[in-house]
């Protein structure tokens, strides 16, 4: 899951980004409204976290412009203002949720999970493909009941493949959702990590779930052999 965080307070931005990264989200960071708007229009995000009080363009303006341009990614607005009228303005501008600073980080993460889940038809926090299961809350991954240990990047890659099960995902799609904006898409890192994950998920099983699609990318599905 790739998230855009637009927050001008650098200590707060660093704290939030670190917390999200520890939860295995990929996070891009912008420190003003103009940069946030540019990134949101340029990259595909699963969620935008948008502070209201921003330099160059405030969060309300950014939110409205994104909605006017039919960018319907979920938006969580953050603000130090706790007046009900301010919350109404934020929600009316197109935001999906509104959280007042200071906040408990556990509550923040819960709201993030809810907004990410809203986009899916299946609202469960457990992803399943054949006998492979991934719990998005605990980050526990098992196959046939056997736990699989993954690094943060391996987990993010597997989660993306499972979210798009039975669909071909290209290397470009993977780079856009699993790695941040500084990733070199011309490197062979994606191939390397797919092989890492494939070894951990498929080794020892007759049914291979992660398959290469020549000239296209990869697909996760239950195979006959």
CATH superfamily of 2-118: Response regulator (3.40.50.2300)
The per-residue pLDDT for 89 is: 78
Q: How far apart are CA 70 and CA 125, in angstroms?
A: 27
Closest CA to 175 of 218, 205, 221, 211: 218
Q: Residue ranges per domain, the chain?
A: 2-118, 126-220
The beta-carbon contacts of 195-200 under 8 Å, at least 24 apart in sequence, are 196/151, 196/154, 197/150, 197/154, 197/157, 197/158, 197/161, 200/148, 200/149, 200/150, 200/154
User: Could you say which residues of the chain have pLDDT below 70?
Assistant: 83, 119-123, 181-182, 184-186, 223-225
For the stretch 39-81, pLDDT in tens is 999 888 999 999 999 999 999 999 999 999 999 899 999 988 7
> Which CATH code, of 3.40.50.1980, 3.30.70.120, 1.10.10.10, 3.40.47.10, is assigned to 126-220?
1.10.10.10
The pTM assigned to this predicted structure is 0.68
């Amino acid at each position: 899951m790739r998230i855009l965080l637009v927050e001008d307070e650098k200590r707060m931005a660093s704290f939030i980004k670190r917390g999200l990264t520890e939860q295995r989200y990929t996070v891009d960071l912008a420190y003003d409204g103009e940069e946030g708007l540019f990134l949101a229009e340029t990259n595909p995000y699963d969620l935008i976290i948008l502070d209201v009080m921003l330099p160059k363009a405030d969060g309300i303006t950014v939110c409205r412009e994104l909605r006017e341009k039919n960018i319907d990614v979920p938006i969580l607005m953050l603000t130090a203002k706790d007046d009900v009228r301010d919350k109404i303005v934020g929600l009316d501008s197109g935001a999906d949720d509104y959280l007042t600073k200071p906040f408990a980080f556990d509550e923040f993460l819960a709201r993030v999970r809810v907004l990410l889940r809203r986009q899916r038809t299946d609202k469960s926090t457990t992803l399943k493909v054949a006998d492979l299961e991934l719990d998005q809350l605990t980050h526990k991954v098992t196959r046939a009941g056997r736990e699989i240990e993954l690094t943060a990047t391996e987990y993010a890659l597997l989660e993306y493949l499972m979210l798009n099960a039975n669909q071909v995902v290209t290397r470009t799609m993977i780079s856009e959702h699993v790695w941040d904006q500084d990733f070199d898409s011309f490197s062979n890192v994606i191939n390397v990590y797919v092989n890492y994950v494939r070894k951990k998920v498929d080794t020892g099983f007759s049914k291979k779930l992660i398959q290469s699609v020549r000239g296209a990318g990869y697909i996760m599905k239950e195979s006959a052999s």
